[in-house]
Structure 1
Amino acid sequence: MEDTVALSLDEVRALAHRVLAQLGLSERQIGPVAETIVAGERDECGAHGIYRLLSCAHTIKAGKVVLDAEAVVHDMAPALVRVDGGGGYAQLAFDLGRPILAEKARNCGIAALGLNNCVHFAALWPEVEALAEEGFVALAFTPSHAWVAPAGGTRPLFGTNPIAFAWPRPNTSPFVFDFATSAVARGEIELHRRADKPIPLGWGLDPEGNPTTDAAAALAGSMLTFGGHKGSALSAMVELIAGPLIGDMTSVESIAADEGANASPLGGELIIAIDPKSFLGAAAAEHLTRAEQIFEGITGQGARLPSLRRYEARARSLANGVRVSKKLYDDIRAYLD
């Protein structure tokens, strides 16, 4: 069994703060970025936990993050707001835009937040879950770097292009899903490479366009979408609505701007919040309760309900802390030496 290190969540948070500060990131950015990393580790999402400190370090050292970025809010319309992240991490821009998005959604029933010129390294579920905890139905989309071939193709065109959705539930945690439109998140392939483990067929192609189980070959070649042409169409949708629609880059443009640095993607994110109370008025509680029949129908037959695994992991981590790979821990600690 791989050697592991036991950490409390406070120790994970402190480690993230120390490493990010050592790398020169501004205090305003450190807090939101660190909380996203803590959330990933807490919910046993290994590819989005402290492992992401390595990608942060690489991206910062490559000069692809504005360390003292000042995000700027642009109030566009009664139901639209944009935040220019100034080349900093998306977490700071979201923190600034979220209360404005919430206010606009309550006033108009539905509102959209565009994040521009932001560095992205994390999952989207923290954003939509936070909005659902305020009572909103929420969706989020973002392109990335061109790592993924379209269905039937062999050359990278799309990003991993995740889609996230959250639904508020009475007296329990929100229903949340967040998945890449690629067959798997790129971080999962990287974790296989680090562990010298083969990847399943269907995750990627080698540089010659052949199916491969070699993680390094897939990273050098192209990833694949999930579900063939269906995942490919959804990935194209994400490119459009979180790229040109909000005046930001496509995945091809993002990787060109990267200039071979292999840093985290720079680009946009679209977040939509819908207020059930605006649609339903006094009947909102009744209809949200009626929606519970869907969740009961899923779990009642033993089927998997997305988000439950994370919440179960969260309870364990809050009670017992987490265990992380000693090699990963040592690699991260090296930035403090």
Structure 2
Amino acid sequence: MISLTLVQARDLAENIMRSHGFSEGHVRTVANAVVTAEGDACASHGLWRLLGCIHSLKAGKVVADAVPEVVDWAAAVVKVNGHGGFAGLAFEAGMPLLVNKARSQGIAILAINHCVHFSALWAEIEPLTAQGFVALAFTPSHAWVAPAGGNKPLFGTNPIAFGWPREGQNPFIFDFATSAVARGEIELHRRAGKEIPLGWGLDADGQPTTDAASALNGAMLTFGGHKGSALAAMVELLAGPLIGDMTSKESQAFDAGTKSSPYGGELVIAIDPQRLLGVSAGEHLLRAEALFDGIVEQGARLPSQRRFDARVLSKHNGVQIPEALHADLMALL
């Protein structure tokens, strides 16, 4: 393993992005996403993702200097055209107007179109909970996942993210793929030569497999059988046709076999409890704390608590990445 401070990790990420001609906005937002994930002990969305970012650029599937275009579409609707750039910069461009509309209307939606996705959705959720909002986010990906009862890829990993603000404490956030596991986790198993558990994927013949490469070339599976499958279909609809963007199958066709990062849209919803509840907001938010206390008192862990704990440690201890990954990243320079 190779040890890096967070400063070293960020410098490495930024230098890689700059060396390939990305604009400073994309340099900043991509580096922040991958370094934060690495520091949160989420290696599947960490520095490893830079390999995919540069691959997508070389394949002509991301625009290095794309400038997001923000449109004030309706009283509670913001649209952002990413013009082929990464989603992080598009979200950053649209967030101020989304915040203003949510405070005014009580609820507002942000539809991001024509952008490339590679990072976890908590990167969009956390800034909104910091503003005191309840937030949700959805995005399709590539057609990697078979529906329940099927054996051919149709859905993306199709993550769902939710955030709830908490006064003086880390927000309650969950962010999970509707597939049994994130695709990046299977990729990391393949790189390490490790088997995957049964239930993660099927091989090209539709048979259950523990071989990571076979699952990547076959079909991933949803979590929870038909329940995860229904949620995956919901994400396809909410962040595809509803906002006028691609489904995972259409994104896969656009990819044209290059194995680049998914291209399409993202739907973000922000709800302001203060606007919705008025003077009673504090009372009802306190009731939410009783719910969280009830979870913890039983010895259970709140979602994202492991990430937040790791974030504190990484500020002092830095991060460790496999030597092979470090060599691959250095080669990008």
Unaligned 5+ segments in structure 1 are none
1:94 counterpart SS class: helix
* 1:163-202 pair list within 5 angstroms: 163-202=160-199
Give me the whole-angstrom Cα distance separating, in 1, the residues matched to 2:181 and 2:85: 26
Q: Is the partner of 2:332 in helix, strand or coil?
A: helix
State the TM-score, normalizing by the size of structure 2: 0.99
Does residue 250 of structure 1 match 2:247?
A: yes
Residues 1-337 of structure 1 aligned to structure 2 (within 5 Å): 4-336=1-333
Whether contact under 8 Å (1:79, 1:105) holds in the other structure is yes
Q: Match for 2:20: what amino acid?
A: L
C-alpha separation between the residues in 2 aligned to 1:208 and 1:264?
25
Poorly superposed stretches of 4+, deviation over 3 Å: none
**TM-aligned CA deviation for residue 305 of structure 1:** 1.1
How far apart, CA to CA, are the structure 2 residues paired with 1:28 and 1:171? 30
**1:158 shift after superposition:** 0.2
Give per-residue Cα distances to partners, 1:115-157, cap 9 Å, x unaligned. Answer: 0000000100111111001100000000000000000000000
Which whole-Å CA distance do the structure 2 matches of 1:253 and 1:69 have between them? 22
Q: What TM-score, normalized by structure 1, do the two folds share?
A: 0.98
Tell me the secondary structure at the aligned position of residue 153 of structure 1: coil
Cα deviation, 1:172-221, whole Å, max 9, x if unaligned, reads 01000000000000000000000000000000000000000000000000
Of the structure 1 ranges 198-207 and 17-26, higher mean CA displacement relative to structure 2 is found in: 17-26
Residue 47 of structure 2 aligns with an amino acid whose one-letter code is I
Distance in 1 of aligned mates of 2:160 and 2:180: 13
CA distance in 2, matches of 1:189, 1:251: 19
- Matched residue of 1:140: which SS? strand
TM-fit CA distance, 1:307: 1.1
| Stretch of structure 1 that moved more, 28-37 or 106-115 | 28-37
Partners of 1:47 and 1:188 within 8 A in 2: yes
Q: Which moved more, 1:68-77 or 1:262-271?
A: 68-77
Unaligned runs of 5+ in 2: none
Q: Distance in 1 between matches of 2:313 and 2:24?
A: 30
Distance in 2, Cα, partners of 1:244 & 1:74: 19
Q: Give the deviation of 1:304 after TM superposition.
A: 2.1
CA–CA distance in structure 2, aligned partners of residues 285 and 331 of structure 1: 50
Question: SS at the partner of 1:53?
Answer: helix
Matched residue type, 1:144 = S
1:170, 1:289 within 8 Å by CA — same for their partners in 2?
Answer: no
1: CA distance, partners of 2:180 / 2:8: 33
**Counterparts of 2:315 and 2:40 in 1: how far apart (Å)?**
9
> Once the 2 structures are TM-superposed, how far is the Cα of residue 323 of structure 1 from its aligned partner?
1.2
Letter in 1 for 2:207: N
